[in-house]
Amino acid sequence: MPRKNTLVFIVVLILFALALSVVLPIDQGVLGERGMRLGLDLEGGIRLVYKADFSAVEPGTEAEAIDGAVAIIERRINVLGVTEPTIQKLDDDSIMVELPGISETEKARKLIGQTALLEFRELVTQDGETEWVPATAVIDGQEKALTSAYFKENTYIDRDRLSGILLLFEWNEEGSKLSEQITGRLINKPLGIFLSDEPLLGEDGEPIAPIVRSKITHRGQIEGLSLNEATELSKLLNAGRIPLPLTSIYEESVSPTLGTDFVDMSVKAGVIGIILVLLFMIIYYRLPGVLASLALIFYGSLVLAIFKLVPVTLTLAGLGGFVLSIGMAVDANVLIFERMKEEFRTGRTLGAAVEAGFNRAWTAIRDSNVTTFIVCGILYWVGSSIVAGAPVMGFALTLFIGVAVSMFTAIVVTRTLLRLLVGTPLAQRTSLFSVYTGRK
């Protein structure tokens, strides 16, 4: 496109990048009033990895079952009020959960790992001993146990006339049939309620086992819970039932204080490094170095804007990938400017030197960046296939984005800025474009 149109495009893109990186409120964090979305190693929190047990799942439905587990976990995490949690499959049978800002590992593990939330059981006597066994009924020739899997996801809290806490629930169609049969034969007998194979305890610490007074067909209630217990249980029931057992195989807790220190050191190191790079470019390459520095500032704004727009969860490894991409962005400019110097030595004009420098340096820039893209892809794949591979994935993703943007800024932005100088009085002063040209 013409130079004027190219300049307009770049100006609009710069304004867009600045608006996104400064204004867009993706998250509140320690990197500023409107900071980046931070990972566990920077913000603190816990990382849990679960392995799914497919033994009770019908063959051929494993993928559907684990996708369902991920969806239910996401809904359960909302109960904790976690900001920007990460729930993803690591491979065909593992799920990773990252909860930034959370330190209660036991509560999170219990919340995520529970499978069948509530089971209804009846007392039977066998060999002179009384024990609780699952309350079952036969529907369409199949014996099924009565559990909260048959609840509609609309449980709520209410109070009785004496201000006692009630957890009210409603059965779905199949649950109504089961409940009608089971409660019909248990009139004047207890119906125990169990949570994860343990009796559900009331506010008085005793197991909840109400006496059935009549058939329960469509809806029922659980009495004796405290307000906090009933509220939390209601939220879990409404979140749904995980369709297969999950076993915790990895846990990691990160201190938020350590993360804050990492952020402060990373920001300071990044600022110092960028300043040194800009000074080197300006001192050694003079006017092209100034233009490259402007392009580098634009590069930083655009990358941060993309990080927020995706959004990218920024970890310490991700910061490392970002800083490395800055060095590679400068490397592209160095290749271009060195080619320009060679063209100047042959007596070419600024316009010819700019075009020849970019054209001849392009193949080296392209090949080096393509190999980096390939390595980023491999790293991301490896990180997604191993436990606790999130830092590797973060490094690969930020490096990939940074290198892609650096190619754009070096080839388009810096080139356009240099083209704008062609035909101006500055173009006649070749000493401003190279240290070793030997020309004035």
pLDDT tens digits for 416-436? 777 777 666 665 665 666 544
CA distance 232 to 264: 37
Q: Is residue 32 part of a domain?
A: yes
Same domain, 149 and 278: no
| Out of 55-59, 174-178, 419-423, least confident range | 419-423
CA distance 351 to 348: 8
pLDDT, one tens digit per residue, over 224-263 is 888 887 887 787 777 666 767 778 788 877 666 555 666 6
Q: Which has the higher per-residue pLDDT, 129 or 238?
A: 129
Residue 145, helix vs strand vs coil: strand
- List the strands of the sheet with 165-170, edge to edge: 156-159, 165-170, 219-223
Please indicate, yes or no, whether the overall pTM of this predicted structure exceeds 0.95.
no
End-of-domain residue from the set 181, 204, 239: 239
Same domain, 127 and 223: yes
CB atoms within 10 A of CB 387: 15
Name the one residue in this structure whose structure tokens are 């990939």.
400
Q: Is residue 440 part of a domain?
A: no
pLDDT, one tens digit per residue, over 200-220 is 777 777 788 888 888 888 888
Q: Is the peptide bond before 425 cis (omega within 30 degrees of 0)?
A: no
State the pLDDT at residue 374: 94
CATH number at residue 21: 1.20.1640.10
> What tokens were used for 340?
């320009």
Q: Is residue 378 part of a domain?
A: yes
> What tokens were used for 429?
């002063």
Question: Where in the sequence is the domain holding 307, given as residue range(s)?
Answer: 3-38+255-432
End-of-domain residue from the set 239, 268, 284: 239
Average pLDDT of the residues of the chain: 76
What secondary structure letter does DSSP report for 171? B
Same domain, 124 and 51: no
CA distance 340 to 359: 10
With 0-12 / 13-18 / 19 or more C-beta atoms within 10 angstroms meaning exposed / middle / buried, residue 248 is middle
Same domain, 16 and 91: no
CATH number at residue 184: 3.30.1360.200
Q: Is residue 11 part of a domain?
A: yes
Same domain, 196 and 321: no
Same domain, 8 and 155: no
CATH number at residue 77: 3.30.70.3400
Same domain, 316 and 201: no
pLDDT band at 34 (very low <50, low <70, confident <90, very high): very low
Same domain, 131 and 280: no
Question: 105: closest CA among 41, 46, 40, 42?
Answer: 46
End-of-domain residue from the set 194, 224, 253: 253
Number of domains in the chain: 3
Question: 24: closest CA among 339, 373, 302, 295?
Answer: 302
Name the one residue in this structure whose structure tokens are 């959960």.
97
pLDDT, one tens digit per residue, over 308-349 is 777 777 777 887 888 788 777 778 888 888 888 777 777 777
- Percentage of the chain beyond pLDDT 90 is 5
Same domain, 107 and 165: no
CA distance 239 to 80: 12
What secondary structure letter does DSSP report for 58? P
Phi, psi of 136 (to 5 degrees): -125, 160
CA distance 217 to 125: 26
CA distance 148 to 72: 14
Q: Is residue 438 part of a domain?
A: no
State the pLDDT at residue 28: 40
Residue 51, helix vs strand vs coil: strand
Same domain, 64 and 168: no
Q: Is residue 439 part of a domain?
A: no
Q: Is residue 437 part of a domain?
A: no
Q: Is residue 82 part of a domain?
A: yes
Asked if 334 and 372 touch (Cβ cutoff 8 Å), the reply is no
Same domain, 196 and 293: no
State the pLDDT at residue 373: 92
In this prediction, residues 376-397 reach a mean pLDDT of: 79
CA distance 287 to 418: 9
